[in-house]
Amino acid sequence: MSSPHPTPGGLWLPLITPFRDGALDEASLRRLARHYAGELLDGLILAATTGEGLTLDEDETARLVAIVAAELTAAGRRLPLFLGLSGSDTRKMVKVLAQTASWPIDGYLVACPYYTRPSQDGMVWHFTALAEATARPIMIYNIPYRTGVNLGNAAMLELAALPNIVGVKDCCADMTQSFDLLRRKPADFAVLTGEDAFFHPMLTQGAEGGILASAHVAPGGFAAVLDRVRSGDAAGALAAWHAISDIPPLLFAEPSPAPIKHWLWRSGLIDSPEVRLPMTPVSAGLAARIGAAAEAMRARPAAPALAAAAVA
């Protein structure tokens, strides 16, 4: 069945959620939204893993969505907003879809049920129930090293036939599985890698893009890799990738999103690098490495093609 929804693609950012003194830092959030409205991005994910969504209460999540949506409108930038959701009770997830039906979002990124480790059939029925409970598009988030269960390609392709299951954030950590999905998927079902370090190889194998936490840093560099792969410039894409490939290992050297928040705080985009327990701040050693990398990036001249690129 053909999907009535646009197929997601390009470079998506799973936005961090800034905190200060234990509360949602709305001033920093507005600054972030305005900043990334001017970057070469194709979509934003709110309140997902990088956004510490599991630590947000409903009121905070609603304010987060409203503020980002309002700032994008004020900036004149039409970026799709997807809300990150996770849970292991299908009934409760259906209720959340109903509760967020009036929110200014365009779709959902929904993680596979965590901890309970359902069967493949159980996950198909879970996502089918969610797809039937909303008219909005849903991207599946397959990340077995967090959830404890892997949604296999047979089940994924069964779900891809549903009209509002539009893609997957692929973090299966098995390149054989990922490449097999890319070969077999329908054209209107998007595979966006969520493994930042695999961005270039996944694009060369046909992935539609990525949902990359590392794109908080030098989003133009990640956009350049995507652009050059799409244009068939293999050498240029590889060179662009080599220019930024040291960023993902640095930002995932300790549990995310603490390293990203430290970089953004050091760069003045947010007023505090605060994370919520059980996340903890970066170590002194990693803070020093991030500081050195940020200084080196600041000293690096911008690529002419990116400096001239227009934001849609």
Cβ-contact 220, 302 below 8 angstroms: yes
Structure confidence at residue 302 as a pLDDT band (50, 70, 90): low
| pLDDT tens-digit map of 150-174 | 999 999 999 999 999 999 999 999 9
| pLDDT tens-digit map of 75-91 | 999 999 999 999 999 99
Domain that includes residue 137, residue range: 10-243
pLDDT value of position 2: 60
| Comparison of pLDDT for 62 and 305, the residue scoring more | 62
Any domain includes 299: no
Enumerate residues 6+ apart whose C-beta is below 8 A from 41. 10, 11, 12, 13, 79, 215, 219, 223
Q: What backbone torsions phi and psi does residue 307 show, to the nearest 5 degrees?
A: -60, -30
**pLDDT > 70 in the chain, percent:** 95
Q: What backbone torsions phi and psi does residue 11 show, to the nearest 5 degrees?
A: -105, 115
**CATH number (domain holding residue 37):** 3.20.20.70
Any domain includes 26: yes
| pLDDT tens-digit map of 236-283 | 999 999 999 999 999 999 999 999 999 999 999 999 999 999 999 999
Catalytic residue flag (residue 114): no
Amino acid at position 107, single letter: G
Residue-wise DSSP of 217-232: S-HHHHHHHHHHHHTT
Any domain includes 102: yes
Catalytic residue flag (residue 115): no
pLDDT value of position 300: 77
Any domain includes 309: no
Pairing, β 23-24 against β 19-20 = antiparallel
pLDDT value of position 307: 38
Determine the average pLDDT of the residues in 164-188: 97
Residue 3 has pLDDT above 90, yes or no: no
pLDDT value of position 310: 35
How many domains does the chain fold into?
A: 1
Q: Which of 36, 108, 141, 261 is catalytic?
A: 141
Any domain includes 262: no
Q: Cα–Cα distance between 32 and 26 in angstroms, integer? A: 10
Which two three-digit tokens encode residue 285? 């050693």
Structure confidence at residue 4 as a pLDDT band (50, 70, 90): confident
Mean pLDDT of the chain, nearest integer? 95
DSSP class of residue 196 equals: G
Q: Which of 36, 108, 169, 185 is catalytic?
A: 169
Any domain includes 256: no
Q: Which helix (H) or strand (E) element contains residue 181?
A: helix 175-184
Q: Cα–Cα distance between 123 and 277 in angstroms, integer? A: 29
Structure confidence at residue 312 as a pLDDT band (50, 70, 90): very low
Any domain includes 172: yes
Length of the chain: 312
Which two three-digit tokens encode residue 277? 């327990």
Which two three-digit tokens encode residue 224? 């350049």
Any domain includes 72: yes
The 3-state secondary structure of 71-122, one letter per residue: HHHHHCCCCCEEEEECCCCHHHHHHHHHHCCCCCCCEEEEECCCCCCCCHHH
